[in-house]
Amino acid sequence: MNKKFKTLLIILVIFSLGLYSFSLKKSNTVEALGVEPDNELLIYFRENFPNNEVLKCGYEDLNDDGRKDLLVIYNESKRKNAMLVVIDKEDGFQVSDHIPAPIENLKIEFKDIDKTGPIEIIISGSKDENFGYSIFRLIDDTELKDLFGEGMEDCC
C-alpha cells in the first residue's frame, strides 16, 4: 500500500507541474492578453516596465490619428493594478500617465459613444465582491480622463 501511495503522489505532482506550465503558456496568448505577444507596443511596454506583469491589453486607435495604440492593464504592486496607454506616434512611442485599474475580472471595450472621435474606453472589473466600471477618453496623448463611472473606487 505504501508503494502505491508514493507512486500516486509522484503522478499527482507531475500532473500538477504540467498544469502549472500550461497555465503559464496560456497567460501569454492572444486570448489572455488581448493582443499578439509580439505586438511592438507591448514589447515597448515590457522593455520600459520590466517589473510589471501585463494582465490585459486593448489595441485600438485611441487618439484618432489613424494609428492603433495599446491600452495596458498591468500589476503595479500586491493587490494594486494600473493602466496606461502606449501611443504610436509618427516618430516613436509615448506613454500616457497611469491610473488605477480593477484587480479581477478585467474587461476592456472600445466604443465611439458620442460619434465624434476619439473613441471611448470602457473598463470594468472587480476587487473582492465590489464591481465597477468607467468610461475613459485619452486626452492630449497624456491623460486617461474618467468621463463617467460607477464603483471603480471600490475595485481599484
Q: What is the pLDDT of residue 55?
A: 95
Please report, for residues 100, 126, 138, the alpha-carbon distance to residue 50 in angstroms, rounded to integers and kept in the order given: 18, 25, 24
Q: Tens digits of per-residue pLDDT, 16-75?
A: 555 555 444 445 566 678 889 999 999 999 999 999 999 999 999 999 999 999 999 999
- Give the start-to-end residue ranges of the domains of the chain: 1-30, 34-155
Q: Torsions phi, psi of 154, nearest 5?
A: -95, -10
At 88, is the secondary structure helix, strand, or coil?
Answer: strand
Q: Cβ–Cβ contacts within 10 Å for residue 68, how many?
A: 15
Residue 127 is predicted with a pLDDT of 87
pLDDT at 26: 44
**Model confidence pLDDT, tens digit, residues 101-153:** 999 999 999 999 988 889 999 999 998 888 999 999 999 999 999 998 887 77
Beta bridge partners of 70: 59, 86
Distance between CA 140 and CA 38 in Å, rounded?
27
